[in-house]
Structure 1
Amino acid sequence: KMVQGLTDVLKEWKCLEEEYQQLQETHRMYLKKLEEISELQNHCSSSISHQRKRVKELSHVVKKYGKAPSGEDAKYLVEINEKIKMRPNAFFEMESFLPKENGLYLNLVLGNVNITLLSKQSKFAYKDEYEKFKLYLTVILLLFSFICYFFVNYRFLDAILNFLLLWYYCTLTIRESILITNGSRIKGWWVSHHYISAFLSGIMLTWPDGNLYKTFRNQFLAYSLYQSFVQCLQYYYQSGCLYRLRALGERHNMDLTVEGFQSWMWKGLTFLLPFLFFGHFWQLFNGLSLFRMAQLPDCNDWQVFMCSLCFLILFMGNFFTTVAVVRQKIKSRSQKPKSL
């Protein structure tokens, strides 16, 4: 029995040794492919930079001589000009699958770490996880605001709510920066919106419990409750709209739901505009209320004026951005029949 058992052990070890040799070979090939991929990435990045520079130089030449020739040459110049206009989008798509340097914010938070996701599956998975994170936290904030407003009047729970808001917005800024690096087209005011909201939440967290805080408390909790409700509405309707537009090829696969109004939301989502504008004017009301409180003789809390400033900035950014998008959409719709 001992001999038979030892024979089995030797056979098992021999089998394991052969598998280990195969594993070593597979790992060696893996390291070799990694080196090849790194070389290809560097080559693609340098080629894109070279192409971008050459295209820019050629576009100046085309603009300079575009009006001079006629006939066949003019036709070729028009074709070249159209292709030049399409190149930036093509370069953007290529670079979204190549490692790139982090921006200042990500370098400060994460350090010089490569956060580029190199496959479509991993990009989509991270984007979907970001959307679920927004939805789940919005629902939690909605419930928390509801409890604090209607059932519990305790400063410690208010502080937990404000800390949750601070953590939520700070996390969104980091995740959005990673998504932008990986090809999501989050632009303009909606990038800055979460930074200001995180700053506002941090100030609310440090506001000491006093008469001024108690005066503004219910107004802020009601505002938080309403904002969370509108964000839930936006998520469900924007995600449905984005799904349809992606299926039609009209939107990029890495586009995200936002907390404002964008031109692609026009079809079927204009009913959200009254909710959004009401929220914008509530921000103005909060800012003016806090500004009046800051003028009181017994106001010694610096948080009052800073919160007022944050709310007024949020109102101006949200309101004027939404108005600009609506105006642009109405203008483009009115010009369509003329072009036809």
Structure 2
Amino acid sequence: MSGPLEGCEREWLELEGEFQELQETHRIYKQKLEELTALQTLCSGSINKQKKRLKDLWLELQRYKRHAGSEEAELVQQMRAYIKERQNIFFDMEAYLPKKNGLYLNLVLGNVNVTLLSNQAKFAYKDEYEKFKLYLTIILLLGAVACRFVLHYRVTDEVFNFLLVWYYCTLTIRESILISNGSRIKGWWVSHHYVSTFLSGVMLTWPNGLIYQKFRDQFLAFSIFQSCVQFLQYYYQRGCLYRLRALGERNHLDLTVEGFQSWMWRGLTFLLPFLFCGHFWQLYNAVTLFELSTHEECREWQVFVLALTFLVLFLGNFLTTLKVVHTKLQQNRNKTKKP
């Protein structure tokens, strides 16, 4: 047997040995995967049973509280606090278990499991999500500047508005995945992107004309300012996320202004004036559009609908930001009062 052929035979025997090890490793992997699936099913079922029993207990305490004495009322209040704490623990547990997608994800992705099972995977996804927002914000900023000062064509406006629609649709999908993986985004922050997507879609369908031209420059200037604010928010949220994660105090997927602590005020006090300025600019857009809707040459339905949408955005953003800041201020005051 020639030398090269003997070398090939040795290589094959080595590959055969490694293949046998690979088969055994894969067999163990499938076994562990089945065990993992069984554990996931067991945990999910146990959590659901616990949540149902806690719900029944909560209702029973509600009924009993009406006729309880002072000491009994205090015990009821304490038990209700324990139940709320237990619900928060269940929320953290479910972040590492497969779950059904929400309505929006079901419509877009179908029944696809989007659960990330490790902290490393969750943080990597959150980090990539923030970078995605940053890159798209820069593109939208450049697009708004180009449309406002260089390209005065309807087709470029349509491209810009299409990018806005795609941007908010994509953010909605990505935030829905974050929520499925344990992020505490809730309330208005969930609805904001839906409303913004609708607004951008209406802007895309608004035909060119006198009324459109009257509002065009104002909208593009607002888009430039909004992109700048989002740029500032990115660095503020990213800094808070990394610091809180390093301190081990927050979830890997936390974001928005909720959850800030006293040491964050240095950055937040700088950011809040820009946020409130953007909110009131939305109100100014709504007032302008309401006035344009009464113009004698206004025939487009988009004008009044956009006015209402900007008003909804202003009320949602302004009131929610006020509520969050007030709540956190109260929490900080209560902490300082404690001995």
- TM-score normalised according to structure 1 size: 0.89
Could you say if the C-alpha distance between residues 146 and 93 of structure 1 is closer, same or farther in structure 2, counting changes exceeding 3 Å? Answer: same
Deviation string 1:213-255 (CA, Å, 9 cap, x unpaired) is 2111110100000001111112212322333344445433320
Superposed CA deviations along residues 285-326 of structure 1, whole A, max 9, x for unmatched, are 111211222222322222222211211111111112122223
Alignment-mate amino acid for residue 132 of structure 1: K
Does residue 1:160 correspond to 2:159, yes or no?
A: yes
Q: 2:77 and 2:323 mapped to 1: Cα distance?
A: 31
Aligned counterparts of 2:95 and 2:298: Cα–Cα separation in 1: 50
Amino acid at match of 2:222: Y
User: In the alignment, does 2:52 pair up with 1:56?
Assistant: no
Aligned to 2:322: 323
The aligned amino acid for 1:156 is V
- Which position in structure 2 is the counterpart of 1:310? 309
Q: Distance in 2 between matches of 1:251 and 1:25?
A: 40
* 1:264 partnered with 2:263: no
Partners of 2:338 and 2:318 lie apart in 1 by: 30
1:209 Cα deviation from its structure 2 partner: 1.9
20 and 263 in structure 1: CA distance in 2 versus 1, 3 angstrom threshold:
closer
Q: Does 1:229 align with 2:225?
A: no
CA gap 1:227/1:69 in 2 versus in 1, 3 angstroms = closer
Cα distance in 1 between the residues matched to 2:8 and 2:333: 82
- Partners of 2:143 and 2:152 lie apart in 1 by 12
Alignment deviations for residues 47-84 of structure 1 (CA, whole Å, 9 cap, x no partner): 111222233344556674896697xx999988765543
Tell me the secondary structure at the aligned position of residue 2 of structure 2.
helix
Q: Distance in 2 between matches of 1:16 and 1:263?
A: 54
CA distance in 2, matches of 1:42, 1:180: 20
Q: 1:74 to 1:289 in 2, by over 3 A?
A: closer
Matches for 1:159-308 after TM superposition, within 5 Å: 159-256=158-255, 258=256, 261-262=257-258, 264=260, 267-268=265-266, 269-308=268-307
C-alpha separation between the residues in 2 aligned to 1:274 and 1:59? 42
Q: Structure 1: which 5+ runs fail to align? A: none
Q: Provide closer, same or farther for how the CA distance between residues 76 and 32 of structure 1 changes in structure 2, counting only shifts above 3 A.
A: same
1:248-277 deviation line (CA, Å, top 9, x unaligned): 454333202x3xx54627622123222112
Aligned to 1:107: 106
Instruction: Judge which range, 235-244 or 193-202, deviates more.
Output: 235-244
Flag the 1:10–1:198 CA change in 2: closer, same or farther, 3 A: same
**Residues 116/151 of structure 1: CA separation in 2 closer, same or farther (3 Å cut):** same
Q: Residues of 1 paired with 2:227 and 2:85: CA distance? A: 39
For the residue of structure 2 that corresponds to 1:300, the secondary structure is coil
- Distance in 2, matches of 1:140 and 1:199, equals 20
- Which stretch of structure 1 is more off in the superposition, 35-44 or 295-304? 295-304
2:165 and 2:197 in contact (8 A); partners too: yes
Q: CA deviation at 1:139?
A: 1.5
| SS at structure 2 position matched to 1:270 | helix
Whole-angstrom distance in 1 between the partners of 2:18 and 2:251:
44
Q: Give the 3 Å change call, closer, same or farther, for CA 33–61 of structure 1 in structure 2.
A: same
**1:178-215 Cα distance to aligned partner (Å, 9 max, x none):** 00000111011111111111111111112222222211
Quick one: which amino acid aligns to residue 236 of structure 2? Y
Number of aligned residue pairs: 334
C-alpha separation in 2, matches of 1:94 and 1:338: 33
Secondary structure of the corresponding residue to residue 271 of structure 1: helix
Sort the Cα spacing of 1:143 and 1:88 in 2 relative to 1 into closer, same or farther, 3 A: same
Whole-angstrom CA distance in 1 between matches of 2:74 and 2:198: 54
Cα 1:305–1:32 change in 2 (3 A) is: same
* Cα distance per residue 1:110-156 (max 9 Å; x no partner): 00011101111111100110011111111221122112212221222
Distance in 2, Cα, partners of 1:199 & 1:74: 48
Q: Comparing 226-235 with 171-180, which one deviates more in the overlay? A: 226-235
Q: Aligned equivalents of 1:165 and 1:60: distance in 2?
A: 45
Higher deviation after alignment, 237-246 or 75-84: 75-84
> Which amino acid counterpart does residue 250 of structure 2 have in structure 1?
R
Farther off after superposition, 272-281 or 96-105: 272-281
Contact 1:263 1:326 in 2 (8 A): no
